Structure 1
């Protein structure tokens, strides 16, 4: 699903999602709060890194990792 690079490798290496948002209970598209907390359940396999909120990319994050490997099974 990705390039096999950890989130810390950033632009042009890790997978990237931008303009993150959600639909609230009144069906209105909202930007997330600025206090997002990244969560990784298997840090040896995958990582996530939040980018700064900005005009171009909005809320965004990098994610990725090698997945199945000798150190991650």
Structure 2
């Protein structure tokens, strides 16, 4: 079953599954022969490698969804 971002925030309070660690790296970083970019997040065990751009986009979307879920205004 796949949850939307809004469903994940509503159920768990975060778009990242519990137990996973987010690692922000520069675009072009190679993890297990895969390249992290602004369009690709790479998983290695319980670490999720992403660029700052991806992290900021996800954070902004999460804040927007959280505001809608809890009825708060986005600042």
Q: Which TM class, normalised by the smaller chain length?
A: under 0.3
**Relative contact order: is structure 1 or structure 2 higher (C-alpha 8 Å, sep ≥ 6)?**
1
Between Structure 1 and Structure 2, the one with more helix by share is 2
Could you tell me the TM-score, scaled by structure 1's length?
0.23
